[in-house]
Each structure stands twice: as C-alpha cells, then as structure tokens.
Structure 1
Amino acid sequence: MKTYFIQYRPFLLFLIKFFLVYFVLTFSYKYYLNHFDSVLLFQVDGFTQLVANQVNYVLMFLGYDSIIVPHTNEASIKLILNQIFVARVVEGCNALSVMILFVAFVVAFTGKWLHTILFIIAGCLLIHILNVFRIVMLSIALLKYPEQEHLLHGVVFPLFIYGVVLGLWVFWVNKFSLHVRKNAEK
C-alpha cells in the first residue's frame, strides 16, 4: 500500500490541493452571496451587477440602445436591447465559479509562487473580460436569432468560456508548472 502512495504521490497531492483550494474559494463565494437577499428582495450581488453594467457599456459603445433594469420577480438584471428584452443577467453569468475552478487547477499544478499569482490574476482578468464580451455577443445574437436561444446559451457560448479556460490550463501546465519541469528533467 505504501508503494502505491509513493507511486501516485504527485496525483494525490494534485487532488488534495485542487479540492482544498476549490472548496475554500467556493465556500468563501457562498459566504459572499449570503450577504444578498435573493429570495425576498431579489437582490443581485455586486459582482453580477458590475458585469451587467460593463455589458451595458459595451453594447452602448457598439451603438445599441441598451438598458439594464433590476428584475422585479427574481434576483437578476434584465437586459433590454433596442427596446426588446433579450436576456437576464443572473449570478451564474458573472463567471466567478469559472474563475474559482481556474484558480484551483492552477494552484494544484504548482508553479513558482510569483508566476502562479501573476498567472491567476491575468487569467481571471482575461476570463472576466471575455465573459463580458461573451454576454455582449450572446445578447446581440439573441436579438437577431431568438429562436436559437437554447443552442446559443446552452452550447455555443459555454463552449467559448470553458474553451478559453481549458486553453489557459494547457498553457499553464506546459509553460509554468513545476510538475512538467520535473518530468522534463528525468
């Protein structure tokens, strides 16, 4: 049994680090969300509000008549584009859960601490910016092709954001991870 632990030590350390970071960040995020009354007052958390505001600014910059208003029946923000209600921005649209997954993976595949911190900051910033543009593109697509909502919202745009995260992970593992360097030296 001891030989299995020795043999699979890198994998087990990866799992421990990944789940430890993932659970700590997830519980911290849930603690943050608990400060907002999404059930009775339909309050939207501050980060989701920030994302909705940034989407609105980008849409207006692109020349669209864009308005965001709080939803009166649920914890979300209504996005109205050219006087047509096209989407709701909900807590799940802010990509924080995607960033948590990203950070947990990067920390689990250890690199030098400075590289790790800088990559996490740059990666989360990139995920945030691309997420705002993802919502912008989705809103415009829903305005033009509302019948394709399931395909656009359920398939195309999640593939976009998760594809970016996967690309960042591959880049991290191949360029900065200490695990790759150890294996390259053998």
Structure 2
Amino acid sequence: MKKYFVQYKPFLLFLASFFGCYILLTVGYQYFLNSFGDRNVDSITQVVAHNAEKIISWFFMRVQVESVINEPFVRMYFQNKYIIRIVEGCNGISVVILFISFIVAFSGSLKNTLLFVFGGSLIIYILNVFRIAVLTILLYYYPEYSHILHGVFFPLIIYGLVFILWFIWVNKFSKYAK
C-alpha cells in the first residue's frame, strides 16, 4: 500500500490541495452569504449587476437595476422592460473559487501564483459582467433563445476562459511546467 502512496504522491497532493482550497474558499463564501440572510441579495451580486448596468449604459441604452428588500436577486430592466433577475449564482464567485483552487493545486512560485490568481480572477469577473450585459440585451431582442443563451452559450464562454487560463498556468507558470 505504501508503494502506491509513493507512486501516486503528486496526484494525491494535487487532490488534497485542490479540495482543501475549494472547501476552505466555499465555506468562507457561504459564511459571507449567510450574513445577508436568505431573503436579501448579497453585495457582490449587487456590484456585478451595477457594473453590467454601467456597460449597457455606455451604449446609450435605457437600463435600470433594482434591488427589492426581501428578494434574493437583483432585477435588470432594459428599455423599460423587466428582462432578467441576477441571483447569487450569476456573480461568478463560484467560478473564481474553482479557478483559484486549481491554480493553488498546481501552484508555482508564491509570486506567480498570487499574481495569476489575482489577474485570472479579475479577467473572469470582467468577462462575467460583460456576459450579463450582453445576455440582457440579447434576451430583450431574442427571448425565445433564452435557454440556449443562458444555459449553453454563455456558460461555454466563461468555462472556456477558465480552461484556457488553467492551460496557460499549467504550461507556463506552475511547478510542473518545467
């Protein structure tokens, strides 16, 4: 049995660090979410919604974000029509947690790891805000495609980006790149 632990040590260390980091970040995030209660929207989701609102307003389109007390989501109105609700799962934090856990599991130098975690998380956040803004506009004009847009196309984009960032990390910066 010891032979197998020695043989698979890198894989076992990867699993332990990935799941350890993932669980730690998820528990911390859940603690943060619990501070808002079940009936109110968290501050990160509100910031994401307001940033998406800003992006849409750059194009001189009528857009409004509304948070209502005792609703765990933010309403997004486009051209004076209620289009989407932005819930906690839309803010991208769970994707960032997954991204960070993988980077930590394949860590490199502390400096490279911290810079890549920060830079990658920022890229994911920005893409997610743009995703919400574009999705709002597309659902206004093409509501019949809501399932394919929200359920297939945009998750493909966000998780595709995460995969590309992981690929870059493993091949250029992790301790396994050499």
On whether the aligned pair clears a TM of 0.5, the verdict is yes
Correspondence for 1:9: 9
Determine if the alignment matches structure 1 residue 123 to structure 2 residue 106.
no
State the 1:97 CA deviation.
0.5
Task: Provide the C-alpha distance between the structure 1 equivalents of 2:12 and 2:59, rounded to a whole number of angstroms.
Answer: 48
1:1-186, aligned counterparts within 5 Å? Answer: 1-38=1-38, 42-71=39-68, 74-181=71-178
Deviations 1:26-47 (A, max 9, x none): 0000000000022xxx311111
Letter in 2 for 1:154: G
Cα RMSD between the aligned structures?
1.0
State the 1:74 CA deviation.
3.0
Percentage identity across aligned positions?
48
Q: Which moved more, 1:18-27 or 1:61-70?
A: 61-70
Task: Provide the C-alpha distance between the structure 2 equivalents of 1:151 and 1:69, rounded to a whole number of angstroms.
Answer: 26
Task: Provide the C-alpha distance between the structure 2 equivalents of 1:48 and 1:140, rounded to a whole number of angstroms.
Answer: 19
Deviations 1:26-74 (A, max 9, x none): 0000000000022xxx311111000011011111111210001124663
Task: Provide the C-alpha distance between the structure 2 equivalents of 1:24 and 1:157, rounded to a whole number of angstroms.
Answer: 27
Letter in 2 for 1:23: I
Aligned residues: 178
Contact 2:40 / 2:69 at 8 angstroms: preserved in 1? no
Letter in 2 for 1:22: Y
Please report the TM-score for the alignment, with normalisation by the length of structure 1.
Answer: 0.93
Give structure 2 stretches of 5+ with no counterpart. Answer: none
Task: Provide the C-alpha distance between the structure 2 equivalents of 1:69 and 1:33, rounded to a whole number of angstroms.
Answer: 19
Task: Provide the C-alpha distance between the structure 2 equivalents of 1:46 and 1:73, rounded to a whole number of angstroms.
Answer: 14
Please report the TM-score for the alignment, with normalisation by the length of structure 2.
Answer: 0.97
Task: Provide the C-alpha distance between the structure 2 equivalents of 1:146 and 1:71, rounded to a whole number of angstroms.
Answer: 24
Task: Provide the C-alpha distance between the structure 2 equivalents of 1:88 and 1:116, rounded to a whole number of angstroms.
Answer: 35
Letter in 1 for 2:113: T
Contact 2:33 / 2:42 at 8 angstroms: preserved in 1? yes
Local SS of the residue matching 1:85: strand
Task: Provide the C-alpha distance between the structure 2 equivalents of 1:85 and 1:117, rounded to a whole number of angstroms.
Answer: 40
